[in-house]
Amino acid sequence: MALQTVTVTWDEQDTGAGALGGYVSFQLTADLQDTADGIDVRRNPPETVFFTGPSGSSPPLAANDSPGITPAGTAYVITVAIRGQPPVHFTSQLNHANGATQTLAYLQANAAVPVTQYGQYLPLPSGTKVPGAVPVVQADGTLAWSTAVILDTTGGL
């Protein structure tokens, strides 16, 4: 079966419906090989499309779910750079099963966010956790396990 492709379209306008310019780039997370047809799709250089009006579209891009493509589970790192704003990067699969033409807004809304991008978390303290214990930050800034029950001002737990 031939390599399936997906075209991505976008419409970037400001709140006053003015046209915004910039670029959108698509970079595979790994080189792809269509084992059935012997087609190789390289991840470098990324496909970059510059635009000066509000809308644009990508060239046909290799679908991450094409039959016979290896390795499985690949995606695209997509960069959207609007003039005057910092670039936005996200990772999304371009699956032909979702249609041969897809919108950039759909891909961004359904982006796969790596867990490492979540920066706000409380690391677990060292030591042995006992049932009912929760991690707490002590007054000196160190972490510890605590089973203390704290009542709030409304009398609840």
Say yes or no: 54 and 100 in one domain: yes
Question: Which residue segment(s) compose the domain that 109 sits in?
Answer: 5-117
Say yes or no: 107 and 141 in one domain: no
User: Can you give the CATH number for the domain in which 42 is found?
Assistant: 2.60.40
Q: How many domains does the chain fold into?
A: 2
CA distances in angstroms from 54 to 29, 49, 50, 110, listed in the order given: 28, 13, 11, 22
Say yes or no: 75 and 131 in one domain: no
Say if residues 78 and 102 touch (Cβ distance below 8 Å).
no
Structure tokens at 22: 């910039």
Say yes or no: 144 and 79 in one domain: no
Structure tokens at 93: 């699969």
Say if residues 76 and 26 touch (Cβ distance below 8 Å).
yes
Note the pLDDT of residue 15: 55
Structure tokens at 138: 């002590």
Say yes or no: 136 and 154 in one domain: yes
Say if residues 31 and 40 touch (Cβ distance below 8 Å).
yes
Q: Give the tens place of pLDDT for each residue, 36-51.
A: 778 888 888 899 999 8
* Nearest to 90, CA basis, from 18, 25, 11, 20: 25
Say yes or no: 131 and 94 in one domain: no
Structure tokens at 17: 């419906």
Q: Give the tens place of pLDDT for each residue, 127-140.
A: 777 777 777 777 77
Say yes or no: 65 and 11 in one domain: yes
Of the given ranges (12-16, 59-63, 83-87), which has the lowest mean pLDDT? Answer: 12-16
* Nearest to 106, CA basis, from 17, 7, 31, 20: 7
Say yes or no: 79 and 152 in one domain: no
Structure tokens at 28: 């595979």
Say yes or no: 94 and 156 in one domain: no
User: Beta strand 101-103 with 5-11: parallel, antiparallel or unpaired?
Assistant: parallel
